[in-house]
Each structure stands twice: as structure tokens, then as C-alpha cells.
Amino acid sequence: MKANYTDSLSIRLLCPLLAFNCAPEIIDLNLDYRPASVELSKAIQIKQVPTEFMDYLSKNYPDSPDIFSAEYMLVLSLPAISGYKIDAMTELPFKASNLLFDLITSFRLCHRGGVTPGPLLYSNIKDSEFYVYGWSHVPSLFMEFLPSISKKEVDPTSFELLEYEFSSSDVPVVNKLLSEISNCRKSGQFTTLYEALRRFNSAYSGESEDRLIDQMIAFESLYIADNKELTYKLALRTAFLLGKTRTKIFNDMQKAYGLRGQIVHGNMPVDKTKLEDTVPKTEEYLRLSIRKFLSLSKQYPISEIRKRLDENILKNGKPLALKD
């Protein structure tokens, strides 16, 4: 499809979701069903993949069989743009890449699961429906903005990273995370958090050693501002902020950082069993840490969060909380 200039043109981006499903909803004692559509906002929907769209994918991506298993897709509606030429795509990559990055990141921050985006396509909107066979590839330039969430080697079965089960109770959580990431962009704090978000997403793929290193870099970018006593500071601050089972978190983080040192310095073989036991734990600690930092960033700069963590550890032992 090649579009020309129009007076007013709306665009709908379509992205199949791999390793993603909507949890069934019980409608009576004997019957449940998987929803055909879930609305996150007026501009963001999750829809079951229509037959025509799957046919299009099978013809255009014959070497990517994992795409054919997609049951749901993201539908992102962009507002009408006056006099806009679609094949030029001058602004679309920047705006849409931010939105897709934030969405996939929010899904992953909500809870575990191997959700990852498939190829991105676009369609004109007519009467709120898709033009049949009116899909087209978003130029390759777009994917250059999404290296950390678009890797093809994501293995949703590795390290207990099973298919993502999205339920109705996840909607407000994902919307909240989306809003917090958006607010970070507007406030200027996103640059500080971006490395943690990028590494968090990057750790969804690759060998176990690479995944652990990505996770540790993400932790460091959140909790550490210098190179002094990294292991102790990182373990202590993480355990303190996440609370509850602090001794366990502290010990797990020290163990993870020790494994990270073995990998980076190569001074001894790394026990794969220990890695496979550690990576899921540190993934969850990182998920919870990012969520805490996103929430607290509404009240404090990131540098202030680190400072107050240490002050609270020394003074009253109470974790940071948002003001009412």
C-alpha cells in the first residue's frame, strides 16, 4: 500500500504479540471464554488476530513460524494528521516507537511472561475498521528505535518465562505504569531510568550469562551513582527498598553480583544451575525495583531517591513512601 497526501488521515498500527494470551473470563459456572478485545485506552486495544491478518503474516513472513502462533495483537490508533504522507514516515517512527516501547515494558513490569512484539504494520482507518488487505510494513527505520524489545531470540519457555497471561485485573496496573513512564518522559527523568528499562527488556533474551549481566547493569543504573562498595550498596539498597524479606533479598543480590563477577572476569567456570536459579529471582527484584523508582520519581529526582534510601537505612529503617 502506498499512500498519497490527504486532507486528514488516521493511522492504526498493528503489532502481533508473541507468547501472549488473554486469560479466560468465567461467564457462568460451566463456560468461560477468552475476550475478543480488551481496551487499555481509547487509543490502545488488544484484539484477537483476524484470519485475514494472519494470512497476510504467513505470506510475508514465511521464515518466522513463531509469528503464526500469535493469537492477539496490539492495535495503536494515532490521531488524524492533516496533509500527511504515510510513505514518508517523517514523524511516525519516533512517536510510535516510544508508545510500543512503553507498552511492552509496562506489560513486562506488570508481571512475568514472555510477551514480545512481532512485526509492526500500519493501516488506514475507515469507519473504525481495517481496510481489508490494506496493511503495509512500517519502514525498517522504525525498528532501529526498538532494539531492546524486538529481539527475535526471546525464548518464552526459558527460566520459567512462560506465555504471558493477561487478565482484566492487569488493565489498571498496565495503565498506571504507562502513565508513570509517560510522566518520566515529560519531567526529564526518563533519561536516568532509560538504561534500567532498556537492560530490563534486553534481559528477556540471550544466554543466561548475558541476561544476568543485563540485569545487574540495570540494578546499578537505579541504585548506584559511584563505584565504591558496589556489591554491598546494591544488595543493601535493593533489600531495603523492596522490604518484607530483606535478609533473603540481600543474600540473593549478593549471590547474583558474585555470579556476575565470575562471568565478567572469567576467573572460574560459572555454575549453570546457579544461574538458572538466580536469573528469575533477580528479574523479579528488578521488576519491583523499577516499579518503585517509577512511582517515587513523581515525588523525588532519582539522585534524591538514592540519597534518601541511605538516610532512611541509617535513621528510622522505614522504606520510602509517596506522600498522600
Q: Of all helices (H) and strands (E), which one includes residue 12?
A: strand 9-18
Burial of 235 (0-12, 13-18, 19+ CB in 10 A): buried
Low-confidence ranges of the chain (pLDDT < 50): 1-9, 80-89, 125-148, 150-154, 156-157, 324
This prediction's pTM:
0.82
> What pLDDT does 27 receive?
56
> What pLDDT does 164 receive?
92
Phi then psi for residue 312, to 5 deg, are -70, -35
Q: Is 164 helix (H, G, I), strand (E, B) or coil?
A: strand
Residue with cell 544488595: 235
pLDDT in tens, 261-289: 888 777 667 778 888 888 899 999 999 99
pLDDT in tens, 240-267: 899 878 899 999 998 898 888 888 777 6
> What pLDDT does 79 receive?
61
Q: Of all helices (H) and strands (E), which one includes residue 18?
A: strand 9-18
pLDDT in tens, 72-105: 999 887 664 444 444 444 566 667 778 888 999 9
Dig out the grid coordinates for 170 from the structure.
492487569
Q: Of all helices (H) and strands (E), which one includes residue 314?
A: helix 302-314
Amino acid of residue 215: Q
